[in-house]
């Protein structure tokens, strides 16, 4: 194929804007639409839905809203659709689409990929320990879902069998795009550099407009985000890709916006492990070729480990909390007094009943001026976790009951009534050899033979870490600047880890950023959150660094009581950190190339 492959990223999570499909269908020559819907909490929600109704357990709005409005246009344009909207019930999702296609007279071939759901085999894994914490496997009756992250292979098989739409369960987000590339260009499983390039393109598409100015440090450049464009990747047979967006949309596609997304949640950039390939993104190059067009090259790959990550979601008690506003003198102290009063009352009742104390308590203040006794306005969150929902409800009752005794200035928006206890969904991860999976690939109900490439389970070979050159020590005239003057940054979560990518605005700044953001400095910046270690990685290709903060999210996701359980605010915290640079460095180098 000499014509570039054009793929639109139409969904980054379950709940993304439904208008993205119509927008992307305006792209000339579009070949594929990919839709990512799944996260660990999503799998748990879908598992509960399937328990109530065997025909549910997938992203129903993918069918009822997105496809219902666009399927005829998709068929007319000859665009293929790949999606993990199948959740824990991909067959039901595919069948709903098959019925819709028939009713519209479209005759589309709809495929389903199964094999990721290991719930029927849960007893086989009773002796597993959590791959990060070493905790034992949860008891079986608490487990809601157990799914392996599968790769591109079975999706490619479905496309080769003539599928127009492929529905999967828990596949890796980027595998949807990689599968399209392998099918379109005929890439083979052992062409690891090409697989790394296709996976990177998928990684840049999987979060929708986060590549096109959404969540960008220089957010003002995105313009009116109501009209922001969703990303399009134009991929060549040699793996080079151009990221862009549809004409007539807002947002911005720049090396910085693309690099922020590239670093998002990847951990070690020299060993980003996926089912099909281990990616090395440390020497990727990003070049602005035209307005809103960035060329991406330089991804490298090596053989995969032959192991798949398995994620278990399980019921780990209950949680609830209350967020309120308070103003006036010493607002922070007043809020703490009120929250502590509710907590003390609830604990007294638990003690009288002989019930255990709360497993976790979180009290967080936001806004105001810490330490300033003058007038301030803050919001305050108080939350607890307990094995018994009645104990959680008790805290809410006692906290609310103390409202008339609180110091002055508290106010709450009461649009939805008192909060209620909700289940805590915890995550448990471990590895399995891919060879233990039994895949089923079917097109319109007809099974298609598929065997995954034979890769013996192995641990990845260590690679020599990149380290930037040291800063000049002979400088006599230094200046302090906030990190945001020197860099862009974005953060996100992986379980109980937070990933903060930092990209120097000019290559000359990176050595000073690296010297300033030491493990000790980072531990101090995030001291209010961090329980584990800090890791730093250097990417010379994009004069960037990736920071991994371990055990920093209070368990992460719904298991956490933190207001920011996904580390989304961490980059903003870090960007205020002072960095010492030679006086005049910024003025003398701010026009440098990305």
Encode pLDDT of 89-108 as tens digits.
999 999 999 999 999 999 99
In three-state form (DSSP H/G/I as H, E/B as E, the rest C), the secondary structure along 141-202 is HHEEEEEECECCHHHHHHHHCCCCEEEECCECCCHHHHHHHHHHHCCCCCCHHHHHHHHHHH
| Confidence tier at 372 by pLDDT (50, 70, 90) | low
* % the chain with pLDDT above 90: 85
Each residue's pLDDT tens digit, 188-236: 999 999 999 999 999 999 999 999 999 999 999 999 999 999 999 999 9
On the question of pLDDT at 589 being above 60, the answer is yes
**Whether 259 and 383 share a structural domain:** no
On the question of pLDDT at 395 being above 90, the answer is yes
Residue 362 lies in a domain: yes
Contacts of 338 (CB under 8 A, 6+ apart): 324, 326, 380, 399, 402, 403, 406, 407, 410
Contacts of 371 (CB under 8 A, 6+ apart): none
| Confidence tier at 593 by pLDDT (50, 70, 90) | low
| Confidence tier at 585 by pLDDT (50, 70, 90) | confident
Residue 17 lies in a domain: yes
**Average pLDDT, stretch 288-307?**
97
State residue 418's pLDDT score.
81
**Average pLDDT, stretch 124-141?**
94
Residue 503 lies in a domain: yes
Cβ–Cβ < 8 Å for 4, 28: no
State residue 38's pLDDT score.
92
**Whether 300 and 328 share a structural domain:** no
On the question of pLDDT at 170 being above 80, the answer is yes
Provide the mean pLDDT of the chain: 94
What tokens appear for 282 in the block? 């440390």
What are the CA-CA distances from residue 404 to residues 347, 398, 408, 417 (Å)?
20, 12, 9, 17
Place of tokens 């039901």: 92
What are the CA-CA distances from residue 82 to residues 11, 110, 168, 184 (Å)?
11, 10, 8, 13
On the question of pLDDT at 591 being above 60, the answer is no
Rounded Cα distance, 94 and 67, in Å: 12
**Whether 87 and 167 share a structural domain:** yes
**Whether 395 and 441 share a structural domain:** no
Specify the length of the chain in residues.
594
State residue 546's pLDDT score.
98
Residue 317 lies in a domain: no
**Whether 498 and 583 share a structural domain:** yes
**Average pLDDT, stretch 399-403?**
93
Each residue's pLDDT tens digit, 22-47: 999 999 999 999 999 998 778 888 98
Residue 90 lies in a domain: yes
| Confidence tier at 578 by pLDDT (50, 70, 90) | very high
Rounded to the nearest 10 degrees, the angle between the axes of helix 68-77 and helix 90-103 is 70
Residue 49 lies in a domain: yes
On the question of pLDDT at 69 being above 80, the answer is yes
**Average pLDDT, stretch 348-377?**
91
**Whether 331 and 275 share a structural domain:** no
**Average pLDDT, stretch 498-512?**
96
On the question of pLDDT at 67 being above 90, the answer is yes
**Whether 192 and 291 share a structural domain:** yes
**Whether 268 and 403 share a structural domain:** no
Residue 200 lies in a domain: yes
| Confidence tier at 278 by pLDDT (50, 70, 90) | very high
What tokens appear for 142 in the block? 């608490």
Q: Give pTM, 2 decimals.
A: 0.95
**Whether 165 and 271 share a structural domain:** yes
Number of domains in the chain: 3
**Average pLDDT, stretch 345-362?**
97
Which residue range(s) make up the domain with 504? 478-589
**Whether 271 and 184 share a structural domain:** yes
**Whether 287 and 180 share a structural domain:** yes
State residue 1's pLDDT score.
57
**Whether 384 and 516 share a structural domain:** no
Give the Cβ contact number of residue 92 at 10 Å. Answer: 22
State residue 559's pLDDT score.
87
Residue 426 lies in a domain: no
């Amino acid at each position: 194929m000499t014509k570039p492959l054009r793929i639109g990223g139409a969904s980054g999570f379950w709940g993304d804007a439904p208008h993205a499909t119509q927008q992307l269908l305006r792209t000339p020559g579009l070949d594929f639409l990919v839709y990512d819907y799944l996260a660990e909490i999503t799998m748990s929600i879908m598992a509960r839905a399937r328990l109530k109704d065997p025909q549910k357990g997938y992203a129903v709005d993918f069918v009822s809203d997105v496809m219902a409005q666009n399927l005829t246009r998709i068929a007319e344009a000859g665009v293929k659709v790949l999606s993990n909207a199948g959740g824990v019930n991909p067959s039901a999702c595919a069948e709903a689409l098959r019925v819709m296609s028939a009713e519209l007279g479209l005759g589309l071939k709809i495929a389903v990929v199964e094999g990721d759901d290991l719930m029927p085999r849960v007893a086989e894994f009773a002796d597993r320990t959590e791959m990060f914490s070493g905790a034992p496997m949860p008891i079986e009756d608490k487990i809601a879902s157990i799914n392996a992250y599968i790769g591109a292979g079975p999706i490619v098989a479905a496309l080769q069998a003539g599928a127009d739409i492929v529905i999967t369960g828990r596949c890796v987000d980027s595998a949807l795009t990689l599968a399209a590339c392998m099918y379109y260009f005929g890439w083979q499983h052992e062409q690891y550099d090409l697989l790394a390039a296709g996976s990177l393109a998928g990684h840049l598409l999987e979060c929708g407009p986060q590549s096109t100015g959404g969540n960008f440090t220089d957010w003002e450049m995105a313009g009116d985000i109501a009209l922001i464009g969703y990303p399009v990747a134009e991929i060549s047979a040699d793996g080079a890709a151009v990221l862009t967006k549809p004409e007539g949309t807002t947002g911005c596609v720049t090396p910085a916006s693309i690099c922020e997304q590239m670093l998002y949640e990847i951990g070690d950039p020299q060993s980003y492990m996926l089912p099909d390939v281990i990616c090395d993104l440390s020497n990727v190059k990003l070049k602005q070729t035209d307005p809103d067009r960035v060329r991406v090259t330089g991804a490298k790959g090596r053989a995969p480990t032959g192991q798949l990550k398995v994620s278990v979601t399980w019921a780990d008690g209950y949680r609830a909390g209350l967020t309120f506003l308070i103003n006036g003198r010493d607002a922070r102290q007043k809020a703490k007094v009120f929250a502590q009063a509710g907590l003390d009352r609830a604990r007294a009742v638990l003690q009288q009943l002989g019930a255990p104390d709360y497993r976790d308590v979180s009290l967080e203040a936001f806004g105001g001026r810490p330490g300033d006794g003058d007038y301030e306005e803050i919001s305050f969150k108080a939350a607890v976790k307990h094995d018994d929902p009645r104990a959680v409800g008790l805290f809410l009752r006692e906290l609310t009951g103390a409202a008339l005794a609180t110091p002055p200035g508290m106010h709450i928006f009461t649009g939805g009534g008192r909060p209620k206890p909700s289940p805590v969904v915890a995550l448990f991860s471990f590895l399995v050899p891919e060879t233990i999976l039994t895949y089923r690939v079917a097109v319109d109900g007809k099974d298609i033979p598929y065997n995954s490439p034979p890769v013996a389970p192995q641990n990845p070979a260590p690679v020599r870490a990149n380290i930037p050159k040291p800063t000049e020590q002979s400088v006599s005239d230094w200046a302090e600047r906030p990190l945001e003057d020197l860099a862009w940054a974005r953060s996100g979560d992986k379980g109980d880890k937070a990933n903060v990518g930092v990209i120097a605005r000019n290559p000359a700044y990176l050595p000073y950023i690296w010297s300033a953001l030491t493990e000790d400095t980072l531990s101090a910046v995030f001291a209010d959150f961090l329980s584990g270690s800090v890791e730093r990685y250097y990417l010379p290709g994009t004069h960037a660094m990736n920071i991994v903060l371990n055990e920093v999210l209070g368990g992460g996701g719904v298991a956490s009581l933190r207001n920011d359980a996904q580390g989304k605010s961490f980059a903003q915290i870090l960007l205020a950190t002072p960095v010492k640079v030679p006086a005049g460095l910024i003025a003398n180098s701010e026009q440098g190339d990305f």
